[in-house]
Amino acid sequence: MKVLIVYDSRTGNTEQMAFAVAKGIEKNGLEAVLRKVEEASVDELPKVQALILGSPVYYGLPTGRIKEFIDESVKYHGKLTNLVGGAFCSAGGTHTGSETTILALLESMLVHGMIIQGYPHGNHYGPAAVGVPDDKALEHCEKLAERVANLVKKLNQ
């Protein structure tokens, strides 16, 4: 089973988080397909069991390149139902739009009928880092991956 991880990163912070997510996916027995957004294709979506999106925060929202990927996914509207989804982001400071960015990513997944699992013990929507991700932020990325992997396994038994 495969998990597509698509991310944008201009400073390397979101990329570090994406690597941690991929590590967590593989640690939990699934294949991580890691793609920078400019190398990603929406045509990979029907071939995976989960999609995790990562973006820096730009003006309280995901980057334009991530939004473009989401917009292109319209060709699979109605065909991604029950795909598992998740999201993460990095921001330049506290209170600069981490939650709104993650929620924007998750909203697009919900429009597709994807399944999102929250987390009741903090980082409810998904991991967010401020600046360079510290060990705690990277641990949260691996926890997101674990939740996604476990849900994929349950749904595909």
| pTM reported for the whole predicted model | 0.97
∠ Cα 32 60 111 (to 5°): 55
Provide the residue-wise pLDDT of the chain in tens; the chain has 157 residues. Answer: 999 999 999 999 999 999 999 999 999 999 999 999 999 999 999 999 999 999 999 999 999 999 999 999 999 999 999 999 999 999 999 999 999 999 999 999 999 999 999 998 889 999 999 999 999 999 999 999 999 999 999 999 9
Please report the pLDDT score of residue 122 as a whole number: 86
Query: Using an 8 Å Cβ cutoff, are 91 and 57 in contact?
Result: yes
Relative to beta strand 50-56, strand 115-116 is: unpaired
Q: What does the block give as tokens for 4?
A: 């597509």
CA 18 to chain centre: 8
Helix (H, G, I), strand (E, B) or coil at 55: strand
Q: What is the CATH number of domain 2-155?
A: 3.40.50.360
